[in-house]
Structure formats: structure tokens, C-alpha cells
Amino acid sequence: MAGGFATAQYVYDCVEADGIVLPTKRRAYRRDTHGRPIMTQLMVSIDLSEVTFSREGSFT
């Protein structure tokens, strides 16, 4: 996902959907040579809302 460079990944704002707890926000920032996130270099931003799960088909 990082394309070959170091990233600092953050997930937060967890919600429960059908008994499963998951984060609704994800951020990935580039890291400097000391491993610290460079907060001005946001590489990935994902926000989820209205999370539900459904079961399609059958399992045997």
C-alpha cells in the first residue's frame, strides 16, 4: 500500500456493526528517517460510514 516508502498508519473512531468492532477512519502518513510521521504528507485517507454486514450465499 505504501508504494515502497515507510508509512505511519493510524486507525480510529471504532464502531460496532453486527457485533464486529472496526475503525471507521484510517490515515497513512510518510515517515521521516527517524520513523516519525510527517503530518503534512498524508498519503491515504479512508472514511467509512453506515457500516453493515450481510451474508450472501451459503457455506458448507
pLDDT at site 51: 86
C-alpha pair distances (Å), 43 with each of 19, 20, 36, 53, 58: 31, 27, 14, 28, 38
pLDDT (tens digit, 9 = 90+) per residue, 34-51? 999 999 999 999 999 988
46 contact partners, CB below 8 Å, separation of at least 6: 25, 26, 27
- Averaged over 17-30, what is the pLDDT? 93
Distance CA(19)–CA(12), nearest Å, equals 17
Which sequence spans correspond to the domains of the chain?
Answer: 10-47
Give 8's Cβ-side CA count (13 Å radius): 14
Name residue, grid cell 467509512: 48
